[in-house]
Structure 1
Amino acid sequence: MGWLIPRLLAATLAVILGGLVGMAVGNAWSWPAIGALLGAAAAALAHAFVDAWRGHRFMNWLRGQMEGSAPRDTGFWGEVGYRVERSVRALERNVATESARLDQFLSAIEASPNGVLLLDASDQIEWCNSVAADHFGLDPQRDRRQRITNLVRAPAFVAYLQGDSFGETVTFAGPGARGTISVAVRPYGEGKKLVLSQDITERERNDAMRRDFVANVSHEIRTPLTVLTGFIETLGNLPLTEVERRRVLELMSQQTQRMQTLVGDLLTLAQLEGSPRPASDRWVPVQNLLAQVHADAEALSAGRHVFDFSGGEAAQIAGAETELQSAVANLVTNAVRYTPSGGRVGVSWSVRADGAGELEVHDSGIGIAREHLPRLTERFYRVDGSRSRDTGGTGLGLSIVKHVVQRHGGELEIDSEPGRGSRFRLVFPAARVRQMEQALDARRAAIESVRAEAQGAGRL
């Protein structure tokens, strides 16, 4: 009410002053009363006009964008303008703060690895992050306010969304059958829905690989165990000659060795997957590596193959010697097993133009059809299962090779054609390859540096 009394006083004062002025003017015409009345009316009208003009300016400011300051008038309209402007600016600050918080919240959801989709009570899209847009094949801007079931027509998803039971999740093929999407719906607000999506393609692939792995291991171990059980029953129930007994014991020994090899390969794979990457400061001479593998290959071949080992005299690879030897030995062993008698098996070392080291194992064996090449490094994958078992393979050798070369930062390259042999190349990055001359130069430089520091200390 602080504005009311001054406003009434101003109006009263204006009327009194107008009446006095009118009376003074009316005395000159001998009509003082009429002059006072006209003067008071004129003053009241002037005061009302000024007040209306100020109100008009203020209303124009309200009708506009309310940018800038409200009209700075005195009295009633000045007070109203100030208070309204202060309320408007406070509201704008609150809106800006809430908008910033909303932007931060949406940015956090946008950074989520899972898809987030907001639906209104009519299942229309209110907002979605880029992950959800990718999962459902949507455009975050174009498809806003569109009904989700008009855009995503997977029967499982539509039935799940239209039902009232959201306790479980639903899975369906993503757009273009690129993968598998898992979706959970959570109601909120007044009929609204929060749709959470996740790409579980990799998880399902890993689960399938795990199931296949367990099934393959069970199968691989069951076969020799069945053979051993049969031989044990034979030894216990049938009278055998010495020759037959020795033959049975020999076969039992082969099956036992097969199981031991399988368990050994499984342990090797587990160790490779669970241990840190090999250090990059432990250098393994390639020549020593090839010499050991050459000796093992000669023993396995028993003179049935021609071997050609070349290169690597001054080369070194940074890594774990046992792992590298296991990888090369697996490749050479496969080459010997799948190359007929009289065939050739070669191992060569070379350095590529970019400094990467290449260790190649090639043979003149039976070769591999092109459609099998992408799956050769899968565990227990065999091009010819019966032949692999006859040669003593476990189906894990190339998987071990792949793990070893990847742990050393490299890659495995395979080229093969049926009847024309195979080529397996272990390619190591330049950072893990060096020549002995480089090592000697580095050692000499270190010695010279230490010697220079010692001489400098002696002068001091």
Structure 2
Amino acid sequence: MKLRMRLALTTVAVAIPVALCMAWIHRAVEARALETALSEYALAHMLSGGRERCEAAPESWSSEPRGPPPPGEWKEPGPRPLPEWRSGGPPPLPPGGGGPGGPGGPRPPRGTRLFAYDSELSARNPAAPRLDASLVEAMRRGQDVASLSSGFGMQEPRRILVRMPWGSGPCAFVLVHWPERFGPREKFPSIPLEFWLFPSVLALAGVLFALGPVVGRLRQLTREVRTFVGSAYQGSITLRGNDEISELARAFDEAGHEVRAQMELKEKREQTLRSFLENTTHDVMIPLTVLQGHLAELQQRAARGETVEDSVVAAASQEAHYMAALIHNLGAAARLEAGEPSVQRAPVDLNALVERCIGRHRPIARGQGVQLDYAVPEAPVRVIGDDTLIEQAVSNVIYNAVRYNTRGGHVAVVLERLPSNTFRLRVVDDGPGIPENELPHVVERRVRGDAARTRGPGGHGLGLNIAWRVSVLHDWRLQLGPSEYGGLQVDFLGELPPPS
């Protein structure tokens, strides 16, 4: 069911009880006014000669209005206050002085009769109706007028018992008996049209008028959301106003942008995975093939009982080290391309990190005939960052310095704390180095210097590129330049966290 129809039906459902309540109040006021008018009629009738006739023949007395009733239905007079009969003196006659049925007096409908009861609420006329217990109880409580309706409170009173001012004798109480006005099929009074139709129509029109802009905005929001979804969450949803509908639109807009960000992140990760697999397949197959060749040669020599040459074992070992470094670099590159969500930040002890890198590369340096040394301060130098990525970046620089050095060369790793709460980690070698005109480009991926054309992790442009990207990720600076010993010097420069 549409929102407009639902609210319209709700309005009608609310308007009907309100109309019924108003009609009930209207009928109750009418009944009260009728009770007042009929009680005044009975009192006026008794004061204008009815008492004498009643007391003269109480066994047969009953009265009904004389003269023809007015044309049309009985028109009840408006509500008037009850007379104060006990304040002394008889009440005044109705206006016009004509008594019952006279000019100016109230004229009850045809069939209304009066019956008399004594001070004990007993009637000497056998035709008098038996008093209802509620009427008797009301008179005994001292009420001057009591009424009894033939139906619900919305109907007019059918019997009204009135206390006479004299309070004694066979005519101390008078019952006004009013016959049923409704037919056998009309058990409930009709509700005036203005009490239910007009309020319902006005309320319905007001709801429809107020809901028009709301429904229009909801339909516009529905169209924009469908377009938003169909465009893969590109663009945005119109935000207008500061109500619940604008909050719903804002929630859709924020959810769409969040979904778009997640989709972009997923696409980026898928692209990273595809690139990693492509690089791994291409870059690993070459050294793996070379390693297989060396191992096949070693197997053939062993089968023939020949002596295994140290150069063949060293070459196989170098290929194994190369593949290990390459796979580590590919993993680090994948993490860097995945972005910030894959980077873990925690305190990192650079002293321990340098010692781990030296321990990992000393066997390689020993096989190359290169001397590898290091120096760290006594107090630990700690930074905030990703321990694995930082260690991979430093390892790449050390591996390149060892790999591209000459036999009998030297490599030194020096960590030092600088003034202004900064640090510097230097990797210095005395190898062939890189020409200065090539230094700005060696950090680019798949770029290496002319002096290092042999295969190695740096030959694929990953080693220094990863070191540079890790430095940028941690807000450090990576500086490359010629060392004072003729080789290459690579410096990691960064700020230390404030002391806690």
Question: Normalised by the shorter chain, which TM-score bucket?
Answer: 0.3 to 0.5
TM-score by length of 2: 0.39
Higher relative contact order (CA 8 A, sep 6+): 2
**Larger Rg computed on CA atoms:** 2
Greater fraction of residues in helix: 1
Taking structure 1 as the reference length, what is the TM-score of the superposition?
A: 0.41
